[in-house]
Structure formats: C-alpha cells, structure tokens
Amino acid sequence: MKKILLIATGGTIASTKTDGGLAPALSPQQLLRHVPDAQAFCQVDAQQPMNLDSTNISPQHWLELAAIIEKNYSAYDGFVVCHGTDTLAYSAAALSYLIQGTRKPIVLTGAQRPIDREDTDARQNLLDSLRFASAGDSGVCIVFGGHVIAGTRARKTRTKSYNAFSSINFPDLAEVRDQRIVRFIPWAGGSGPRFTHKLNTRVMLLKLIPGLPPGAFSAAGDLCDGLIIESYGVGGIPDAYLGQLERLVALGKTIVLATQVPQEGSDLSIYQVGHRVKERYQLLEPYDMTLESTVTKLMWVLGQTTQPEEVRRLFYTPINYDLLF
C-alpha cells in the first residue's frame, strides 16, 4: 500500500460558511474523513503548514511547500497538496521549477465547493488526487475534474464550474476515469529530484492596453528586475514605448515579451513591431508557455543567476512540458 503525504493549505475545499463569506477552517484530518475509500489503496499522513484563501498565497509559501516535500521526500511514495483554486496554477508551476525531475508524483488539487457541501466536487477531486499520487506516475501536476494537467500548463479558465482548469497549448497528461488512470502521455522518467531554494520575487507583469501612458511602462520596469510585458497577438511593442524599453534594457532589466492571447503563443518574428525589438534588444519570449509558468519560471531563473546568457539558457530550457518551440 502506497504511503502519501497530504499537505493542506486551506482554500475552498477546506472552507466553511462565515458571516463574511467562505473561509478556510477544516483540518486535513477532517478532509480525509470525507474520502474513506482512499483507505483501500493508500495510507495517508497529513500536515497543515498554512490555512489560507489562495488569494493570500505568496512565493514564500511556494518555498515552504517545496521545503516540506524535500524534507519528507524519502519517507513517502507521493504527495498531495490541497490548495485554493485561484492561485493553484501559479503554485503548480512554481513547484515544477523548485522540484525538478521528481520520480514521485506531486499532485495539487482543490475544489469549487467546500468538501462538506452535498453538491461538492471536492470529494471526487481529493479521491482522484490520492489515487493518482498512489499510481507511480511522476512529476508535478494538477488533478481536477478528472483531468491530469502538467503543473506548468494549467490555467483556471472558469470561476464557478467544476471543470475549472484547462491545459493550455498542451494535452492533458491523463484522466482519472472510474477509479482507473488513463495515461495519454507516457511518463518519460525523472533524473532527480533536484530541489532549488531561491526565487527572485522582483518580477512584474505589465498588460498593455491601447492608450497606456508611457510613464506607466517605465514605472513598472523600475520596480522589478524582470518585467513581463503582455502585448497583443503574437507580440510587439508600440512605437510610443520604444524609448522607455531602451532605458530599461540599458539598466540591465530582464524583459520578456509575451502575448495576452491564451492559445497558440507568441512569435515575435512575424511582424515588424515584434521583430525589431527582439533583434535589437534581445528580448526573451515565452512562445507557448502559460502566463503562470512565465511568471514563476522567471522568478526561479533570476533566483539562480543574473548573468544574461545564463538567464536566457535557463529560461529556454524546457521543464515539465512548459515549453515547445
């Protein structure tokens, strides 16, 4: 029987009603009482390092979760992190970079309804996650609504429906159907685990809108070491911001030019507005990466090095299916 560590962080799955709305309150032991069928295929221990609405999850919490998994890695066959849905995709991407090459499954899950509600999706999500974590398939992933999504490819695309998460620009890894795991992409194995312990959180996102003042462009760059610019279509920088961009590049800022469009990714080579800045300023582009992966990977990369060529090499090194180009 597989031995699983459940790490509870709060979220809707563990919430109860209060006068001010839903708030996390249930312990991991209370969560497990709702999935007695799990006892047939795994033994579960539990820890609760935090009990937060995931709106309050920060990079420091990602480091804390990674540290718990590292400390307990040899003692368990798999790990399940119960987490609020709002920042679940960011946490899954961050753990994909902090824990690379894992030969044991690290599964994140949550719910759109509290686990003690009659109409909840929480019981099935938790049971599916424990089942997948017990199956031996490795890597960091999200299990939600029967879908198994690579940790770097998930995005919350629905705020209320049970099928809240989609895999962006990449197929689901697997499904959990009728107590069985149906794998679509064979696990390629892992050479790790390799744990890293540092993130540079001085990363900022600027979403371009028509008419954005040039001063806002510059101010965003001044507040960070790495600036992700979400442009339009396949990517480009409007003429009004070229002077500000040149100043930020001269200051040594790492600039990533992404797209606001969720599907199919960026390609700065297509239009002049993208080609000119990529060639002149050597901007990075995320191609088909999700925003969540772009943000957390840049934090991870800048936490490892400040050397431009090494930043470029690490950013373009595929990790947990995050990048295909």
Q: Summarize pLDDT for 287-298 with one digit per residue, the tens.
A: 999 999 999 999
pLDDT score of 47 more than 70:
yes
Residue type, 130: L
Q: Provide the pLDDT confidence category of residue 85 given band limits of 50, 70 and 90.
A: very high
pLDDT score of 192 more than 80:
no
Planar angle of CA 95, 98, 99, nearest 5 degrees? 80
Residue pointed to by tokens 């690290």:
106
Strand 105-109 versus strand 139-144 pairing type: parallel
* 12 catalytic residue (yes or no): yes
Mark out the alpha helices in the chain (DSSP H runs).
28-32, 59-72, 88-98, 122-133, 214-222, 242-250, 272-281, 291-304, 308-315
Q: Summarize pLDDT for 210-239 with one digit per residue, the tens.
A: 999 998 888 998 999 999 999 998 988 998
Q: What is the pLDDT of residue 65?
A: 98
What 8-state DSSP symbol labels residue 10? Answer: B
Residues in the chain: 325
Which one is catalytic: 9, 12, 254, 259? 12
Identify the top-confidence range among 23-27, 132-136, 298-302: 298-302
Q: Summarize pLDDT for 99-158 with one digit per residue, the tens.
A: 999 999 999 999 999 999 999 999 999 999 999 999 988 899 999 999 999 999 999 999
Q: Summarize pLDDT for 49-80 with one digit per residue, the tens.
A: 999 999 999 999 999 999 999 999 999 999 99
Residue type, 17: K
Rg of the chain on CA atoms, in Å: 20
Which domains does the chain show, CATH number per domain? 2-195 (3.40.50.1170), 203-315 (3.40.50.40)
Residue type, 139: G
pLDDT score of 190 more than 90:
no
Q: What is the pLDDT of residue 188?
A: 67
Q: What is the pLDDT of residue 177?
A: 92
Residue 253: name the closest of 214, 222, 289 by CA.
222
pLDDT score of 271 more than 80:
no
Q: Summarize pLDDT for 178-189 with one digit per residue, the tens.
A: 889 999 998 766
Residue type, 91: S
Residue 198: name the closest of 87, 287, 94 by CA.
94
Residue type, 193: P
pLDDT score of 17 more than 90:
no
Average pLDDT over the chain, rounded to an integer? 94
Q: Provide the pLDDT confidence category of residue 94 given band limits of 50, 70 and 90.
A: very high
Where does residue 320 fall: left (phi above 0), alpha (psi -120 to 50 degrees), or beta otherwise? left
Decide: 245 and 216 in contact? Cβ < 8 Å. Answer: no
What does the block give as tokens for 77? 């066959």
Q: What is the pLDDT of residue 189?
A: 66
Q: 189: burial class by Cβ within 10 Å (0-12, 13-18, 19+)?
A: exposed
pLDDT score of 96 more than 80:
yes
